[in-house]
Structure 1
Amino acid sequence: MKYVVVLGDGMADWPMESLNGGTPLSCAVTPCMDELAGMSEIGTVSTIPEGMAPGSDTANLSVMGYDPRKYYTGRSPLEALSIGVDMKESDVVYRCNLVTLTEEDVPYEEQRILDHSSGEISTEDAAILLRDVCQELKNENCSFYVGTSYRHCLVWENGKNLELTPPHDVLTQRVGNYLPEDEMLLSMQKKSYEILKAHPLNRKRKEQGLNPANSFWFWGAGTKPILTSFEKIYHKKGVMISAVDLLKGIAAGAEMDCRIVEGANGGLHTNYEGKARAAVKALTEEGYDFAYIHVEAPDEMGHQGSVERKIQSIEYLDQRLIRLVKEGLDASGEDYRMLILPDHPTPVKVRTHVAEPVPYLLYDSTAPRSHNWHYNEKEALESGIKVEHGWDMMKYLFGGKLC
């Protein structure tokens, strides 16, 4: 038996008037997921423990079978694992976003955040900007590391572990109420803005109609994580397929392998087919028992507030990834179980994460069911099946019983 998780980050949403009460998931044309839903168990699962912030960090840990209340030490340290940062116990790691501020003729505190991702800036452009800023921000206690696209890391030796606001929660707002109170971090953000708004690369981006990456934004602090080996817990050899450092970091902490897929970038136009092929190959040719395929695009489109692009990202996920995984595994003759779900909702209306239960679909090729379900939030809720703890889903996928 082979096992697959396909996770559409932020795919769940709220009913919308513009969609006649539907959601992007219910309105998207998803023939493969709907076919699977007719042969599967569908229900809802709570991935965020009560009292914890709804983020892809806590939610994906949960789906991966790790209780965030026990294992979560912060988002950024997981990302730092992915890019090979050798963390000490005394280090505090922050996410360093490259964001787009308005560049109004007002003090830094009065600027507004237009884009938390700087137009999904390429890693190559981001690396140039990070290098040039960090030459000016050198500090014997602070080190910067290039991640992926707009997502980077600051490691602060013997630093302060401060709770800071994610930039996607501040979109269109004045930044003054959300800035670090720590003088050093605040100074770094302000200095980065002065350097980046005049940077030749950002001038070029604006000429091309692209959002400039004109400020650092620190958030997601945490300390060195300690995860138990996935294989030791579940006795399955697993592989992670994701474009984002957070998921690759979780995999590194769990001692799982990763597959780097060319053209996979965490955006709407990521390489869906390449991810599908990598998963099928890992499961049918390379001896893996389990593949976790993570797609960031629905979450990014939710943050952008775009109903149309979120629907498109879900349709791409269905036809360009899930369909190919199903066809590949069916052709191989392997028995398999496939779990499809989001990690959390990212409603277009609020453009950020919420901690509500998400719909799941669990398909078993050896025991297909027959009913009229479709895969969406409403029908998953109407099924009456509710899983209280997201971290129970992994052992359920592997054939165990829910607690």
Structure 2
Amino acid sequence: MKILFIVLDGLGDRPCNSLKNKTPLDAAKKPCMDFLARNGMIGSMTIISKNIAPESDQGMLSLLGYDIFKTYTGRGPLEAYGNSIKIKKGQVIIRCNFATLCNSKIHHNRINDIESMPSRDEVKKIECIKIPHMKFKKTIGYRGVLIISKNLSPRVSNSHPGYKVVKNFVTTALPVRNRLLMQKNVIPFEKKAGATAEMINNFIEKAGSLLKNKTILTRGAGNKLPVLRNMKSWTILADMPVEIAIGKLSKMKVVKKPKNLKALSDIVKKEIKNNNVYVQIKTIDALSHRNKPVEKMKAIEDIDKNFISNIKDIKNTAIVITADHSTPCNLMSHSSDPVPFLIYGLKKGTAKTFSERKARETGLKIHATSLLKMLWQNTKYFK
């Protein structure tokens, strides 16, 4: 039996006034997901802990069964690797965002992402900043990476006010959307990281002097890639570089993901003949960050109609539908809320529809790290 693992990025939500106190998933007309729920099993799943709102890469690693406090090595190295930037031993790599300023404060709202997109001239100016052993590289959209080619410690804080380091390299997203915020000074977590923090702060200051109404936010410093187990029997189709990086490091077959959902389902049906398949769909997370619950509901309906409908009848396959984290529209940010999960192809449960509320009502509660183990090891669950 094969596994089709579908991750709807940011699926979990909270009741919304504009949806008559329902979540987008609960309010959506999704006959195919509901069919899978009626004929499968659903429950609630904690991604990391009740106190940590995961980043997407941390969420994915947890879904793949890793203890991220032991495995995760920072967002920076994954961001670089996923964008085909070669990583050398001794480098410290930091994820960067271009951000909009309003009266010297950061307007932290995804609506302003387009305003934060740098021009070619701005990128050129930042790439030409001269600091010994340091180089900036633009990646996609408003993102980039900062590379320090000097054997320094990566144990520093984030200047990005929306993400806080909580333990080792693991961060939590903070509910700070739609607010004006001050950029944070980078501080070292250990004495030997003092030079690292000083270099990053120097770069941020120089970048700020070159950009008009923008700044550079930094987070996720790391100096190595995570060591992941071999998953060469899997194919991955994902939207974002960090998920692609995790797929590559796991020896998965990386296939370019089309934007068209029907085309995506065709590729899935082709790949599932020989491999397990991991699919990440980003669309609904972006709508959550913009506080668009009605549009999020419609996006879920679109996924159900044009993707799930085409894959639900695949034979000899366990179908998993879940999320890497919750992104409640009213927060406009990731949260630590449990995510709903659905497994079709195992023993039938009692649910009639797929939603956060119905998932809680089943009483089935698991941690993300146990999901694949349930599929691989606990054969008693299979029909």
TM-score strictly above 0.5: yes
Q: Which residue of 2 aligns with 1:325?
A: 311
Q: How far 1:377 sits from its partner (Å)?
A: 0.4
Q: Which residue of 2 aligns with 1:362?
A: 343
Call closer, same or farther: CA 1:111–1:376 in 2, change over 3 Å: closer
Letter in structure 2 aligned against 1:115: R
Greater Cα offset, 126-135 or 377-386: 126-135
Aligned residues: percent identity?
27
Q: Deviations over 1:205-240 (max 9, x none)?
A: xxxxxxxxx432211222312323233xxxx60111
Alignment partners' CA distance in 2, 1:355 and 1:321: 27
Q: How far 1:275 sits from its partner (Å)?
A: 2.7
**Structure 2 residue corresponding to 1:252, chosen from 248, 254, 262:** 248
Alignment partners' CA distance in 2, 1:281 and 1:120: 40
Q: Which residue of 2 aligns with 1:163?
A: 157
Q: How far 1:310 sits from its partner (Å)?
A: 1.8
Call closer, same or farther: CA 1:358–1:113 in 2, change over 3 Å: closer
Alignment partners' CA distance in 2, 1:127 and 1:237: 41
TM-score relative to the length of structure 2:
0.83
SS of structure 2 residue aligned to 1:226: coil
2:78 and 2:246 in contact (8 A); partners too: yes
Residue-pair matches, total: 357
Alignment partners' CA distance in 1, 2:199 and 2:98: 18
Asked if residue 139 in structure 1 is aligned to residue 99 in structure 2, the reply is no
Aligned positions of 1:4-403 closer than 5 A: 4-49=4-49, 52-102=52-102, 106=103, 108=104, 110-115=105-110, 118-119=113-114, 128=120, 131-157=123-149, 158-159=151-152, 160-164=154-158, 165=160, 167=162, 169=174, 170-176=176-182, 178-180=184-186, 182-197=197-212, 214-231=214-231, 237-262=233-258, 264=259, 271-284=260-273, 287-288=274-275, 290-327=276-313, 329=314, 334-364=315-345, 369=348, 371-387=350-366, 389-400=367-378
Alignment partners' CA distance in 1, 2:132 and 2:252: 33
Alignment partners' CA distance in 2, 1:129 and 1:377: 46
1:96 and 1:152 in contact (8 A); partners too: yes
Alignment partners' CA distance in 2, 1:130 and 1:257: 36
SS of structure 2 residue aligned to 1:112: strand
Alignment partners' CA distance in 2, 1:36 and 1:120: 41
Q: Deviations over 1:14-64 (max 9, x none)?
A: 122332321111111211111111101101111114665522122110111
SS of structure 1 residue aligned to 2:147: strand
SS of structure 1 residue aligned to 2:303: helix
Call closer, same or farther: CA 1:370–1:70 in 2, change over 3 Å: closer
SS of structure 2 residue aligned to 1:356: coil
Q: How far 1:120 sits from its partner (Å)?
A: 9.2
Alignment partners' CA distance in 2, 1:22 and 1:356: 16
1:76 and 1:246 in contact (8 A); partners too: no
SS of structure 1 residue aligned to 2:139: strand
Alignment partners' CA distance in 2, 1:116 and 1:76: 24
Q: How far 1:180 sits from its partner (Å)?
A: 3.3
Residue segments in structure 1 that go unaligned for 5+ positions in a row = 199-213, 265-270
Call closer, same or farther: CA 1:16–1:261 in 2, change over 3 Å: closer
Letter in structure 2 aligned against 1:20: K
Greater Cα offset, 42-51 or 169-178: 169-178
Let me know the Cα RMSD of the aligned residues.
Answer: 2.8
Call closer, same or farther: CA 1:383–1:89 in 2, change over 3 Å: same
Q: How far 1:352 sits from its partner (Å)?
A: 1.1
Q: How far 1:128 sits from its partner (Å)?
A: 3.2
